[in-house]
Amino acid sequence: MKHFSVLGHPIAHSLSPRIHAAFGRQTGIELKYDAIDATAEEFFDTLQAFADAGGVGANITLPLKQSAFALSSSVTDRARRAGAVNTLARTGDGWHGDNTDGEGLVRDLTGRHGLDLRGRRTLLIGAGGAARGVAPALLDAGIGDLYVVNRTSERADALVDAMGQPGRVHSRYLHDLRTLGDFDLIINATSAGRGASLPDLPLSLFSPRPAVVDLSYGEAAIPFLAWARANDVRDVVDGLGMLVEQAAESFALWHGVRPQTDAIYAELRAKDVVLATAD
């Protein structure tokens, strides 16, 4: 039986083992998928031990995605543009790195939530691993101009440079948000919600019918999305669908078949996540 794992820190509450087990049952593919706790310091040795024990594929989550990119012996184009890897596949004595986060987000927004992303003037708040993972796919999906703001402005500059599309992708200061006009798509890619906090954002950001997205799910998504709802935003989406879709993309890379995602999404939405989405 092929052995897979998700590595990160903390990892105890990861939903990935449950999602991949459901995909395996659905497709009739036998697999073992568990969660391994690894800090940044432990990551390299832990991954090597996993490979030595027969591990053939891994998902990589916080705070290891940039380290996973650095250790990959080859990467896909989308992983290279993101500078971050969330999916590893064993190749000989190395790892092939991919990043399925952005594709997962776009599939969730367009497929599950029926949002047309084309031409949307987009604000991306945050410039860490999560933001870098989704920016390339959003651009490929045809959004309009992309504005990136971050508490540490150098990281926003670095993200914008990595996209290589000057004139379309812009870095701005967080404290200049009031001067940027309104946006059709606003994405919170900061980890601020994990500390139950919220970046200070003006209401002038909302276009007449914006979509507001938080890449996290569960309690971490509540402050930002509750703020949007309280201000009458109708299209409010958390990161649960993205989580399921990025898992399906990883599954397809490893097993050559893309599983159906609706059943496991509904199951997780019903059981684990406080905040339902509004379509």
Binding site residues, ligand ATR, CB under 6 A? 62, 126-131, 150-152, 155, 190-192, 197, 199
Nearer to ligand ATR, 196 or 203 (CB): 196
Nearest to 140 by CA among 169, 181, 172: 169
Nearest-angstrom CA–CA distance, 32 and 43: 20
Using CA atoms, how far residue 143 sits from 51, 119, 121, 139, in Å, is: 39, 5, 7, 6
2 in active site: no
Write out the E strands in 48-129. Answer: 55-60, 74-75, 87-91, 94-98, 122-125
- Smallest gap from residue 176 Cβ to ligand ATR (A): 15
- Least distance CB 20 / ligand ATR (angstroms): 21
State the minimum distance, in angstroms, from the CB of residue 29 to ligand ATR: 29
Residue placing its CB nearer to ligand ATR in the complex, 22 or 87: 87
Query: Cβ of residue 21: shortest distance to ligand ATR, in angstroms?
Result: 25
**Alpha-carbon distance values, 153 to 109, 176, 272 (Å):** 27, 11, 35
Beta carbon nearer to ligand ATR, 99 or 277: 99
Q: Which of 2, 32, 65, 271 is catalytic?
A: 65
> What 3-state DSSP class applies to 170?
strand
> Please, which residues have CB within 8 angstroms of residue 208's CB and are 6 or more apart in sequence?
none
- In the complex, which residue's CB is closest to ligand ATR? 128
Catalytic annotation, residues = 65
